[in-house]
Amino acid sequence: MSDDSIQLRVLDQIRWEPGVDCSQIGVTVRDGIVTLRGVVETFVEKAKALKATKRTRGVKGVENKLEVELGESQLLGDNDTAERLQHIFRWNVAIPDKGIKIDVANGHVTLTGEVDWDYQREAAEKMVWLVGSVRQVTNHIRLKDNAIAADVAVDITAALKRQARLDADDIAVSVQGSTVVLSGTVKSATDRRVVEKSVWSAPGVKTIVNKLTVTDREPAVLFPLAG
């Protein structure tokens, strides 16, 4: 795939991304390596533009040189940022706010504490990025040492078989303490992520070793060109 083709795909992928104003984002490509330049209003936009670029077919690497120019309403001090995050956590039923500690230094948010489920750890990090003054997030939230069920491998395999897009017969699940090891094959990188996300739903799982091999390329996703 030529650099020009990749450039068009990246531009369309960023344009397709909700919450990203691509009007001031420039894209250059050399040997499959994409460089993003320009200005966005929030660090969330910068992160979204990067993710959209990474998942574009043909992209081998990304250099994110986007600059963030915060509006006056987003220029919060560290104390105000921490207070706003505590308020967000308190009203989000997916996040056990009493088990999470928030530290903010120069816009860098560090999360510590313990939760029961991986989705709670993930939800906490996503909520942090909703505050425009946040520049960086370090997620040190740990999963509690809950006992893992003896038949959890059977339950995980059954859960995978219920997913229409997966061929669970090609996936092997083994459990070593609180670690789940996945091996076998899946048809796409998307399926690989789906399997891993399903495993995180099992109680007691603290670590996943994903050894699944992708056998086929994912189909190209084409987006209409602007203009």
Q: Tens digits of per-residue pLDDT, 87-102?
A: 888 888 878 877 899 9
Tokens describing residue 100? 């999470």
46 and 61 belong to one structural domain: yes
In 3D, which of 181, 175, 118 has the Cα closest to residue 152?
Answer: 175
Q: What CA–CA distance (Å, rounded) separates 215 from 201?
A: 25
- Identify whether 221 is part of a domain: no
- Identify whether 41 is part of a domain: yes
From residue 61, give the alpha-carbon distance in Å to each of 1, 124, 190, 191: 14, 28, 19, 22
Q: Structure pTM? A: 0.57
130 and 172 belong to one structural domain: no
pLDDT value of position 217: 52
- Identify whether 166 is part of a domain: yes
State which residues form the domain around 169.
152-214
Strands 136-139 and 108-115: parallel
pLDDT value of position 227: 39
Strands 33-40 and 171-176: unpaired
- Identify whether 18 is part of a domain: yes
Give the mean pLDDT of the chain. 84
In 3D, which of 81, 71, 141, 130 has the Cα closest to residue 107?
Answer: 81
Contact 36, 49 (CB under 8 A): yes
82 and 53 belong to one structural domain: no
Number of domains in the chain: 3
The CA angle 36-39-45, to the nearest 5 degrees, is 80
Contact 182, 171 (CB under 8 A): yes
pLDDT value of position 197: 85
Contact 30, 3 (CB under 8 A): yes
- Identify whether 92 is part of a domain: yes
Task: Write down which residue in 112, 143, 174 finishes a domain.
Answer: 143
CATH number at residue 199: 3.30.1340.30
Contact 50, 78 (CB under 8 A): no
- Identify whether 223 is part of a domain: no
124 and 179 belong to one structural domain: no
80 and 63 belong to one structural domain: no
Q: What CA–CA distance (Å, rounded) separates 27 from 80?
A: 35
Q: Tens digits of per-residue pLDDT, 137-147?
A: 899 998 887 76
- Identify whether 225 is part of a domain: no
89 and 51 belong to one structural domain: no
DSSP designation for 9: H
Regions of the chain with pLDDT less than 70: 70-75, 147, 149, 216-227
97 and 110 belong to one structural domain: yes
200 and 166 belong to one structural domain: yes
